[in-house]
């Protein structure tokens, strides 16, 4: 049996402990670095829309003017996932503030 170190995706430290399991039996981890707020994370996500990289791309595409359907198709996630992430981040479209 080989032990692999687990690193926090936010701060990249190895001060990580196990923090239970999800309903899908995936291992949840907790970062104990005091500089960052306590947060749990997974190493293996079931849904592609939950990946931090996909969330960042989602916001970046919205800021560059891509539509919801385009973003969903390119990132291979649902339109509802795109909308919910943008609502969480409160990305405001310039189209609604323009005057003709």
Q: pLDDT digit string (tens) for 48-82? A: 888 888 989 999 998 899 999 999 999 999 999 99
Full-model pTM: 0.58
Strands (E), the chain: 16-21, 27-31, 40-42
Q: What is the pLDDT of residue 73?
A: 94
Q: What is the pLDDT of residue 99?
A: 52
If you compute the radius of gyration of the chain from its CA atoms, what whole number of angstroms results? 17
Q: What is the pLDDT of residue 47?
A: 82
Q: What is the pLDDT of residue 91?
A: 55
Which of 57-66's residues contact partners 24+ apart within 8 Å by CB, and which partners? Answer: 58/82, 58/85, 58/86, 59/85, 59/86, 59/89, 59/91, 62/86, 62/91, 62/93, 63/91
């Amino acid at each position: 049996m080989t032990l692999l170190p687990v690193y926090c995706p936010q701060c990249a430290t190895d001060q990580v402990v196990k923090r239970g399991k999800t309903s899908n039996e995936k291992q949840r981890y907790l970062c104990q670095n005091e500089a960052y707020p306590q947060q749990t994370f997974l190493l293996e996500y079931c849904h592609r829309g939950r990946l931090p990289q996909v969330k960042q791309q989602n916001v970046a595409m919205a800021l560059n003017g891509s539509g919801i359907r385009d973003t969903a198709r390119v990132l291979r996630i649902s339109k509802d996932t795109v909308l919910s992430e943008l609502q969480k981040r409160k990305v405001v479209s310039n189209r609604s503030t323009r005057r003709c």
